[in-house]
Amino acid sequence: MLIKNIIKNYGTREVLSNISFEVEEGKVTVILGESGCGKSTLLGILSKNILNYSGEIEFERDITKGISYIFQEDTLIPWKNIYENIRYVLMDKISKEEMEKYIDKYLKMVNLQDYKKEYPQALSGGMKRRVGIARAFAFPSDYLFMDEPFEFLDIKTKKEIIDYFKILQLKEKKTVLFITHDIEAALELGDNIVVFSQKPTKIKKIFKNILDKNKVRDEIKNLFL
């Protein structure tokens, strides 16, 4: 995916100032920046929820299949059980004959196959987030957008969720755009990291093919001093 010269204003207030970078296909690209810097605005533009902007977006893989999402809050339907929640987004995508086996495969990958008949209120916050990850990967799209999905999770639960995410991404190789202000989560998941400034938002630096996490961590921290 190529993002070229994106400019977004709200009235006279410039939010995004000529943003250009590549989201490498089949990998995780992180947009890292402080709260309020315009990360979610860019995600809204990419997902076509915000239409009034200038610039170009080029998707290299098939966008007609839709986009998977993982948000800050779980978006599970409370009156449907876990199996039904995942089935709901797959109704026109997977045949009835294959549906149960297909969903079971993804629930097993996040270790929730024994909970598929439970309702969301019976699950912990971490378990709900795992359902959300399973659902996002089960949806047969090439692209996955993540908006601060580890916010409000304790350290132990966050590590567990990240580990499950890695397992699924290793298998599915979706093109992932992950926005966060969490440096450690960015380093843990990102193949590439795009660091945003505060508004009007510009790109401070892009880190590609990260190998030395300690070095990159120090550089990122210096960028925010």
* Digit-coded pLDDT (tens) for 168-224: 999 999 999 999 999 999 999 999 999 999 989 999 999 998 989 999 999 999 998
Q: How many CB atoms lie within 10 A of CB 141?
A: 22
Distance CA 51, CA 140 (A): 25
Strand partners, 201: 16
94 and 28 both lie in a single domain: no
196 and 112 both lie in a single domain: no
52 and 83 both lie in a single domain: no
Distance CA 21, CA 1 (A): 9
For 58, the token pair is 């080029």
Distance CA 7, CA 5 (A): 6
148 and 206 both lie in a single domain: yes
Give pTM, 2 decimals: 0.90
Type of residue numbered 147: D
Question: What confidence tens digit (pLDDT) does each residue in 113-138 have?
Answer: 999 999 999 999 889 989 999 999 99
For 109, the token pair is 């990958």
Q: What is the CATH number of the domain that holds 3?
A: 3.40.50.300
Output DSSP code: residue 35.
T
Domain of residue 189 covers 1-66+141-225
